[in-house]
């Protein structure tokens, strides 16, 4: 399949709307991407035009996105580009959508704290679980994995 994949860096423009569907949940939001250029004459950055995209994220990505993202937050969105035309109010309009494959906060503009989502039971055996270690730079009393690590170490 020859899909066009894109990686966009921008900001969440609307609240994330999440709804359950027959194929799993879907999250949708508008995403604003503004080109920035260095103006040599003035010696400063200037904003170019802003492009808006409708981003859709399905299943666990959609659920995690809805629980993690708010309006105005900087994101990096990677996904399949879809361009469609529609007639509204007697005029042909072009819409650009992205079916997200991966979404994350843009860490060049801030920090984030990752929390692993709880997994549904998949039938995997405990011996297939990876060995957990303490998070670097975090005291043991603040490390949520400390108790799990202790259990793994004592069980070995």
Domains of the chain: 5-118 (2.40.50.140), 122-156 (no CATH)
Query: What is the pTM assigned to this prediction?
Result: 0.71
Q: Is 14 exposed, middle or buried (0-12, 13-18, 19+ CB in 10 A)?
A: middle
Q: What is the pLDDT of residue 153?
A: 45
Q: What is the pLDDT of residue 1?
A: 62
- Give the span between the Cα atoms of 89 and 78, in whole angstroms: 32
Res. 23 pLDDT band, cuts 50 70 90: confident
Q: Is the pLDDT of residue 136 over 50?
A: no
Q: Is the pLDDT of residue 37 over 50?
A: yes
Res. 110 pLDDT band, cuts 50 70 90: very high
Q: What is the pLDDT of residue 120?
A: 60
Res. 118 pLDDT band, cuts 50 70 90: confident
DSSP-based three-state secondary structure for 92: strand
Average pLDDT on 11-19 reads 96
Average pLDDT on 10-30 reads 94
Q: 11 CB contacts (<8 Å, ≥6 apart)?
A: 31, 32, 72, 73, 74, 75
Question: What percent of the chain has a predicted confidence (pLDDT) above 70?
Answer: 75
The region of weakest confidence among 52-66, 73-87, 131-145 is: 131-145
């Amino acid at each position: 399949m020859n899909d066009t994949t894109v990686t966009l860096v921008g900001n969440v423009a609307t609240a994330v709307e999440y709804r359950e569907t027959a194929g799993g949940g879907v999250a949708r939001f508008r995403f604003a991407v503004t080109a920035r250029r260095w103006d040599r004459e003035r010696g400063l950055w200037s904003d170019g035009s802003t492009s808006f995209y409708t981003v859709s994220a399905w299943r666990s990505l959609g659920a995690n996105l809805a629980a993690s993202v708010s309006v105005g937050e900087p994101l990096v969105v990677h996904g399949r580009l879809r361009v469609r035309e529609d007639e509204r109010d007697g005029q042909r309009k072009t819409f650009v959508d992205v079916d997200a494959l991966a979404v994350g906060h843009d860490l060049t503009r801030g920090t984030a704290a990752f929390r692993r989502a709880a997994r549904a039971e998949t039938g995997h055996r405990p011996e297939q679980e990876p060995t957990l270690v303490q998070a670097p730079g975090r005291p043991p009393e603040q490390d949520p994995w400390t108790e799990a690590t202790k259990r793994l170490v004592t069980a070995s």
